[in-house]
Amino acid sequence: MPARRGTAQDRLPADGITADLHPDGRFRGGSAEVFRILGLAQESDVVRVPGSSRTAWGAVAGSGAQYRLRPHPDRPGWEITLFPAPAREGHRATLRRLQIDNLASVAQSKDLSTVVHNLTIDFFQASELVGPMIVLVDPSGSPTFAGSHEMGHDELAAMERCRRNGAPMLTLQAFEEDRVIVDPAWYDRVRVDDRFAPIRAFVGLTSGFSYLSIPLRTSSGPFGVVAGSWPAERPITPGRVRLWCDVADRLALALQYSELMRRARVQGADIERQRINDDLHATLAQDLFVLALHLAKLEAGDLENEHRATVLEVRRLTEQLVVDVRMFIGERRHVMEGVGMAEYVDDLAKDLGGRTGIAVDVRHAGDVDAFSSDFNEDVARIVQEAFRNVDKHALASRVSVHTRLDPESKMFVLEISDDGRTGKAGAAVSTGAGLSIVSEIAARRGGDVTIRQSGGTTVIVRIVPEYESEWAVAQRSLEPWTG
């Protein structure tokens, strides 16, 4: 029967106690106290040894003790050492300062890339790790985001090529094993293992540093890692590992807080939009409807010709304004959570076709669902304004919408064409307000708008794309390597 875990924690010496393991993790010899604290049966249980012959640090479940697993220095197999829980008093001030810095970074940053940029700077200052990088990983083990205060898209793409080459990626190992992984020979591995060739130009092949990766955890398990380098001449102690883990825990909380703030902003925006819609429906829409009724009565009465024309025009404009207000109230004003650009534009096209009978053809060239939510919001606004302009002014029977990425300029291109005839009798006169909004968005996004009128109207918007994460850009640069 295994001993209760943690019963001998207080008896551990400061320099720890050590036992030896076979290459498969079975007990070979040394202190039996190690296995009593771990709660293992020496005859049958094995210790999960780290992959790729690397060193692993972790905490003993149910105990404040820490363990270190590393390749045995003299023979095949492993050496496991248990250390007593290190005191945290020495770094409480560091953690408090980091927590304040993290909250400031999150509160002042809107997008994930900026949050990560700021948090890695805070992490570097608190942990002293060189070149820290955050990698978020999905439950299947695939990286979904990577960023730091200095790394760019090319480096991230090189990392992914290494992974696809089958290189033993330390960052993913820390995520999969849920413990701190240290590799003193990582830079040497990169130098001699061709699976790491894509990243050699970026790491500089610097000797004298250990590379390590620390899990970022929630209560349900790890969701990513933070990685960095440590000078080989500086020892890695239990207290140092405890500090890194505490700092990583603060980092994980800050990232979760950032996501909660983003969701709160989205929810708050939705509530405010609904309030505005309700107010418009309760006041302006109803008042305009009453005004239209009064104008209809005037039109039915005995009016002189000069006044009748004016009343007819005012009534027509009022009815159009009623349509505009109801259209505004009924529109989906926000790209919903989890909905990509293609799906949202398709929904807008269906709304226009269902409301007006106009045939709408939508085509998307390439992957247009990797953009940021703010970018999708702006594209949706452009499409809404263009559709409203078609509905009000063009008297069109067909509309086409094409989205694509220009392979040369890397610009996002949105082209909306119709076969209408602006200015036909009975059509409302365009004030140009809608196109003014489109031009404003394009200018803010570093682009431009081109309008062509020949057998209809074509609006071409070219803007700089903004991706949801730097990882999405890195994936795009991998295309030439994946066939």
Task: Provide long-range contacts, Cβ within 8 A and 24+ apart, for 38-41.
Answer: 38/5, 38/67, 38/82, 39/2, 39/3, 39/4, 39/5, 40/2, 41/2
Q: So what's the pLDDT on residue 426? A: 42
Q: So what's the pLDDT on residue 206? A: 66
Q: Are 53 and 23 in contact (CB under 8 A)?
A: no
Q: Which pLDDT band, with edges at 50, 70 and 90, does 267 fall under?
A: low
| CATH level 2 (architecture), domain 9-83 | 2-Layer Sandwich (3.30)
Q: Which pLDDT band, with edges at 50, 70 and 90, does 56 fall under?
A: very high
Residues 6 or more apart in contact with residue 337 via CB below 8 angstroms: 263, 266
Q: Amino acid identity of 56?
A: A
Q: Is the pLDDT of residue 312 over 90?
A: no
Nearest to 308 by CA among 295, 290, 318: 295
Predicted confidence (pLDDT) per residue in 86-96, tens digit:
766 566 666 66
> Which of 9-18, 97-106, 357-366 is predicted least confidently?
97-106
Helix axes 92-107, 238-280, angle to 10 degrees: 30
Mean pLDDT of the 300-317 span: 69
Please measure the distance between the N-terminal and C-terminal CA atoms of the chain and give it in whole angstroms.
56
For 320, which DSSP code? H
Q: Which pLDDT band, with edges at 50, 70 and 90, does 20 fall under?
A: very high
Helix axes 341-356, 373-389, angle to 10 degrees: 20
Any bridge partners for residue 221, and if so which? 218
Q: Is the pLDDT of residue 474 over 70?
A: no
Q: So what's the pLDDT on residue 101? A: 61
Q: Are 328 and 322 in contact (CB under 8 A)?
A: no
Q: Which pLDDT band, with edges at 50, 70 and 90, does 482 fall under?
A: very low
| Rg of the chain (C-alpha set) | 31
Q: For residue 474, with 0-12 CB atoms within 10 Å meaning exposed, 13-18 middle and 19 or more buried, which class applies?
A: buried
CB atoms within 10 A of CB 437: 16
Token pair 């053809």 is at which residue? 361
Q: Which pLDDT band, with edges at 50, 70 and 90, does 450 fall under?
A: very high
Cα–Cα dist 468/211, whole Å? 28
pLDDT, the chain, mean: 76
Cα–Cα dist 375/446, whole Å? 12
Mean pLDDT of the 149-169 span: 76
Share of the chain above pLDDT 70, in %: 66
Q: Is the pLDDT of residue 424 over 60?
A: no
> Which of 6-20, 433-447, 462-476 is predicted least confidently?
462-476
Nearest to 441 by CA among 385, 367, 363, 403: 385
Q: Which pLDDT band, with edges at 50, 70 and 90, does 173 fall under?
A: very high
- DSSP H/E element including 361: strand 359-364
Cα–Cα dist 298/304, whole Å? 11
Backbone angles phi, psi at 134, to 5 degrees: -100, 130
Query: Pick the residue with more confidence: 148 or 222?
Result: 222
Q: Which pLDDT band, with edges at 50, 70 and 90, does 429 fall under?
A: very low
Q: So what's the pLDDT on residue 363? A: 92
Mean pLDDT of the 202-220 span: 81
Cα–Cα dist 45/117, whole Å? 43
For 52, which DSSP code? G
- What size, in residues, is the chain? 483
Q: So what's the pLDDT on residue 302? A: 67
For 51, which DSSP code? G
Q: Which residues in 423-433 are b (16+ Cβ under 10 Å) and which e?
A: eeeeeeeeeee
Predicted confidence (pLDDT) per residue in 217-250, tens digit:
887 788 888 888 888 888 998 888 888 888 888 7
Cα–Cα dist 79/68, whole Å? 8
Alpha helices in 178-237 (DSSP H): 186-192, 200-203
Predicted confidence (pLDDT) per residue in 331-389, tens digit:
554 444 556 778 888 888 888 888 788 899 999 987 776 777 778 888 888 988 888 88
- Does the pTM exceed 0.75? no
Between the CA atoms of 196, 198, 204 and 207, what dihedral angle is there, to the nearest 10 degrees? 0
Tokens describing residue 439: 């031009």
Predicted confidence (pLDDT) per residue in 357-368, tens digit:
889 999 998 777
Sign (positive or negative) of CA dihedral 139, 142, 143, 144: negative
